[in-house]
Amino acid sequence: GDSVTQMEGPVTLSEEAFLTINCTYTATGYPSLFWYVQYPGEGLQLLLKATKADDKGSNKGFEATYRKETTSFHLEKGSVQVSDSAVYFCALTGAGANSKLTFGKGITLSVRP
């Protein structure tokens, strides 16, 4: 079945550092790919998405590119802020009509001032 693998965490960075969070997936067909974020005390929010190969999703300075050849969707940000401290989940929906999400384990990011 479909699966998502995220790099092991947690990750701690200093403010203004460069961020990369790795995500790879296994799926049949052409899934859609997502990054969700959960800020402390809040619910899951969609951060960005990409629906086909080579698409780049972007939001709030974060970017991720759908790489079919490497089955990856790595999340990047050039300069993190303290307010980016959260748990980040990579997820996919299958190619069929059922749009249930399959999530990775999530990774906790802490940004120090």
Partner 1 sequence: GAGVSQTPSNKVTEKGKYVELRCDPISGHTALYWYRQSLGQGPEFLIYFQGTGAADDSGLPNDRFFAVRPEGSVSTLKIQRTERGDSAVYLCASSATSGGPPWAAQYFGPGTRLLVL
- Residue 11 tokens read as 């990750």
Q: How many residues bind partner 1 (CB under 8 A)?
A: 27
Q: Which span sits near partner 1 by CB under 8 A: 18-26, 43-51, 59-67, 71-79?
A: 43-51
DSSP string, 35-76: EEEE-TTS-EEEEEEE-STT-EEEETTEEEE-BTTTTB--EE
Does residue 74 bind partner 1 (CB under 8 A)?
no
The phi-psi region of residue 83 (left if phi > 0; otherwise alpha if psi is between -120 and 50; otherwise beta) is alpha
Does residue 95 bind partner 1 (CB under 8 A)?
yes
Does residue 86 bind partner 1 (CB under 8 A)?
no
Q: Which residues bind partner 1 (CB under 8 A)?
A: 4, 32, 34, 36, 42-46, 49, 51, 89, 91, 93-106
